[in-house]
């Protein structure tokens, strides 16, 4: 498997290396993204889902921020799930974190199961963004929050380079207003936050 494909679905020893790289590379981005929901009044999640959990870094941060919560992770990569559970073995043994192989298109949880759903650096790999957003939103309780974070968005200056990156890695990075519109269509009242210096974006949607 080419290394470019490992970012979509890490496999084997090479995939594990990519997962560890992403854990470190996305640490600051993840912290910034989670910071965008910290001011939401009354957000004290008891049930959390992280879609595309990768190496489990976000799950660990979520468990630290919300110690009374149980956090589930899903990923299409079996290797990513193994790394997540290895990395968070203590939290897993305590019943605070779990992870399994699954797709955003077929989430193995009932509707209205979660108070918070997160997706860090993954929406652009989802097979059908409109349908998958609606599917994920349906797993939120009323008043639940969805956080989607990306380290890239089209800003009018990077569009050509971003287009080349999308072709190389099989991504579909949309303009911010299009992502927000799809979240609204899924029943989420959505705000968009950006870090223009780093070209990061966070979409925060609340289920109505």
**Which tokens in the block code for residue 163?**
């287009």
Supply φ then ψ for residue 203, to 5 degrees: -105, 125
Residue-level pLDDT at 91: 96
Give CA 123 to chain center in angstroms.
Answer: 7
Question: Domain range spanning residue 161?
Answer: 3-207
Q: Which helix (H) or strand (E) holds 84?
A: helix 78-87
Residue-level pLDDT at 28: 95
Cβ pair 189, 142 in contact under 8 A: no
Please report, for the domain that includes residue 70, its CATH number. Answer: 3.40.50.150
Question: Is residue 181 classed exposed, middle or buried when 0-12, 13-18 and 19+ CB atoms within 10 A define those classes?
Answer: middle
Calpha distance 12→141 (Å, rounded): 36
Residue-level pLDDT at 112: 97
Residue-level pLDDT at 59: 97
Cβ pair 28, 95 in contact under 8 A: no
For residue range 60-90, list pLDDT tens digits in order: 999 999 999 999 999 999 999 999 999 999 9
Residue-level pLDDT at 2: 60
Domain count, the chain: 1
Residue-level pLDDT at 81: 95
Residue-level pLDDT at 97: 98
Which regions of 69-110 does DSSP assign to beta strands (E)?
Answer: 70-75, 97-101
Residue-level pLDDT at 38: 87
Question: Is residue 58 classed exposed, middle or buried when 0-12, 13-18 and 19+ CB atoms within 10 A define those classes?
Answer: buried
Burial 127-138 (b: 16+ CB within 10 A, else e): eebeebbbbbbb
> pLDDT 10s digit of each residue in the chain, 208 long?
566 666 666 677 776 777 777 777 789 999 999 999 988 888 999 999 999 999 999 999 999 999 999 999 999 999 999 999 999 999 999 999 999 999 999 999 999 999 999 999 999 999 999 999 999 999 999 999 999 999 999 999 999 999 999 999 899 999 999 999 999 999 999 999 999 999 999 999 999 9
Transcribe 26-62 into DSSP letters: THHHHHHHHHTTTTSTT---SEEEEES-TTSHHHHHH
Give the Cα-Cα-Cα angle 14, 19, 21 (nearest 5 degrees). 95
Give the predicted TM-score (pTM) of the model. Answer: 0.93
């Amino acid at each position: 498997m080419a290394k470019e494909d490992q970012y979509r679905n890490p496999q084997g020893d090479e995939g594990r290396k990519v997962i560890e790289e992403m854990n470190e590379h996305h640490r600051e981005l993840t912290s910034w993204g989670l910071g965008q929901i910290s001011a939401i009044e009354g957000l004290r999640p008891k049930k959390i889902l992280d879609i595309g959990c990768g190496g489990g870094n976000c799950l660990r941060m979520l468990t630290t921020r919300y110690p009374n919560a149980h956090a589930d992770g899903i990923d299409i990569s079996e290797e990513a799930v193994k790394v997540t559970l290895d990395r968070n073995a203590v939290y897993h043994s305590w019943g605070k974190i779990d992870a399994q192989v699954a797709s955003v298109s077929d989430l193995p949880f009932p509707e209205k199961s979660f108070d918070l759903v997160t997706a860090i650096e993954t929406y652009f790999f989802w097979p059908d963004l409109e349908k998958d957003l609606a599917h994920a939103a349906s797993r939120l309780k009323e008043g639940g929050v969805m956080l989607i974070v990306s380290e890239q968005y089209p800003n009018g200056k990077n569009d050509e380079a971003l287009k080349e990156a999308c072709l190389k890695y099989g991504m579909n990075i949309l303009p911010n207003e299009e992502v927000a519109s799809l979240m609204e269509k899924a029943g989420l009242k959505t705000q968009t936050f950006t870090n223009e210096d780093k070209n990061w974006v966070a979409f925060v949607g609340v289920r109505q």
